[in-house]
A and B are shown apart, each in its own frame.
Chain A
Amino acid sequence: MTDSAHMVLMVATVLFGLGLIGVLTRKNVVFMLISVEIMLNAAGLAFVAAGSKWQQPDGQVMFLFILAMAAAEVSVGLALVLQIYHQHKTMDVEDLKELRD
C-alpha cells in the first residue's frame, strides 16, 4: 500500500510539474488558466492519495475545498479573460503591459 501511495505521489508531482511548465511557457491567457487547473488538480490528487494511505477522510475534505476554490478561481479568471479581450483585442500576456513600469 505504501508503494502505491508513493506512485500516486509521483504521478501527482509529474502532473504538477507539467502544469507549472505550461504556466511558465505558454503566452496565451486561456492556456495559462488551463495549466493552473492542472496544477490544482494535481494538488487534489496528492491530498486524496494521502487520505487514502492513512484511511482518513481529511484528504477528501481538502479535495472538496480545492474543488470549490478552483471553481471560484476559474470563474473570476475567465471573466477577466473576456474583459481583457474586449479591451485589448489580444490574448498575449506580452502585449498586456499596462501595469509594467
Chain B
Amino acid sequence: MSTLFYISSIVAVASTVMVITRYHPVHALLYLAVSFLSVGMIFLSLGAPFVAALEIIVYAGAIIVLFIFVVMMLNLGRETAQQEKEWLQPKVWVVPSILVLILLVEMIILLFSDNKDIMRISVVDPRKVALSLYGEYIIAVELTGFLLMAGIVGAAHIGKHKRSSLHRFLQNGENGNGKAHTGVPPEQVSNEQTVLHD
C-alpha cells in the first residue's frame, strides 16, 4: 500500500504544482484532471473505493467539463482553430499522459495482484457509508439537497444573458443625471393619468 500511495501522492503534488504555474487555462485543466485522478488513486490505496469512484465521476468528470465549457465559451469567436492547433502540441499532452500512465500501471498492479502485502488495508465499504448517510446524517443530506437546488437556481439566474444587465441606478449614473431624470418620471405621470381617467 505504502509504495503505491507514495507514487500517487508524488504524482498528485507534481500535477498540482503544474496546475498553479500554467498560464493557459486548458493546460491547467489538463493537469487538474491528472491531479484529481491521482487523488482518486490515493483514496483507492486508503481503502475507500466508493469515494475514489465518486472523485473520478464528479470531480474529474463533471467539474472539469464545466470548466472546459466555460473556457471554450469565453474564447468563442476568435481564431479558435489556430488556438486549438496551438493547444494540442505534443509537449502539452505528453507529460500529463506520462503521469496518467503511471497511475494506470499502479491501479493495474493494485487490482490484479494476489499478493496480500499490497492490499493490506481494511476497506470501509459503501454499505456502512450508506447506513451512516441515511441514518444519522439524514438532516445533512436534505440540507445538501437544498444547497444543490439553490446552486441550480442561482446559476440559472446569474447566467442569464441580459441585454442591459446593469442596475438602473448604475445606468443613471453612467448616462448622466439629466437624461435619467427626464427618462423615468413622465411614464409614471402618464400611468397615473390614465388610471385616474379610467
Other-chain residue from B42, B50, B161 in contact with A60 (beta carbon distance below 8 A): B50
* B158:A80 contact, CB within 8 angstroms: yes
Residues from 25 to 80 in A contacting B, C-beta threshold 8 Å:
25-26, 28, 30-31, 33-35, 37-38, 41, 44-45, 48-49, 51-52, 55-61, 63-65, 67-76, 78-80
Q: How far is A34 from B41 in the complex, measured between Cα atoms in Å?
A: 20
B: number of interface residues (CB 8 Å) = 61
Q: Using CB atoms, name the residue of chain B closest to A14.
A: B13
- A86 at interface by CB-CB < 8 Å: yes
Residues of A within 8 A of B131 (CB): 57
- A2 at interface by CB-CB < 8 Å: no
Q: How far is A44 from B144 in the complex, measured between Cα atoms in Å?
A: 16
Query: In this complex, which of B2, B62, B151, B154 has the most chain A Cβ atoms within 10 angstroms of its Cβ?
Result: B151
Residues of A within 8 A of B172 (CB): none
Chain B interface (Cβ within 8 Å of chain A)? Answer: 1-2, 5-6, 9, 12-13, 16-17, 19-20, 25, 28-29, 32, 35-36, 39, 42-43, 46-48, 50-51, 54-55, 58-59, 62-63, 66-67, 70-71, 73-74, 121-122, 124, 128-129, 131-133, 137, 140, 144, 147-148, 150-152, 154-156, 158-159, 161, 165-166
Residues of A within 8 A of B155 (CB): 75-76, 78-79
* A70:B63 contact, CB within 8 angstroms: yes
Q: How far is A28 from B155 in the complex, measured between Cα atoms in Å?
A: 20
* B13:A15 contact, CB within 8 angstroms: yes
Q: How far is A44 from B165 in the complex, measured between Cα atoms in Å?
A: 37
Chain A interface (Cβ within 8 Å of chain B)? Answer: 4, 7-8, 11, 14-15, 18-19, 21-22, 25-26, 28, 30-31, 33-35, 37-38, 41, 44-45, 48-49, 51-52, 55-61, 63-65, 67-76, 78-83, 85-87, 91
* B19:A38 contact, CB within 8 angstroms: yes
* A8:B159 contact, CB within 8 angstroms: no
> What are 28 A-B contacts defined by CB distance under 8 Å?
A4-B1, A11-B42, A18-B17, A22-B20, A30-B74, A34-B67, A35-B20, A38-B16, A45-B39, A45-B43, A55-B124, A57-B124, A57-B129, A61-B133, A63-B54, A64-B129, A67-B59, A68-B148, A71-B58, A72-B150, A72-B151, A75-B66, A79-B158, A79-B159, A81-B70, A82-B74, A87-B165, A91-B74
* B165:A86 contact, CB within 8 angstroms: yes
CB distance from A12 to the nearest CB of B (A): 9
CB distance from B102 to the nearest CB of A (A): 16
Q: Using CB atoms, name the residue of chain B closest to A86.
A: B161
Q: How far is A78 from B62 in the complex, measured between Cα atoms in Å?
A: 13
* B151:A73 contact, CB within 8 angstroms: yes
Q: How far is A30 from B43 in the complex, measured between Cα atoms in Å?
A: 27
Other-chain residue from B16, B46, B71, B124 in contact with A15 (beta carbon distance below 8 A): B16
Residues of A within 8 A of B29 (CB): 34
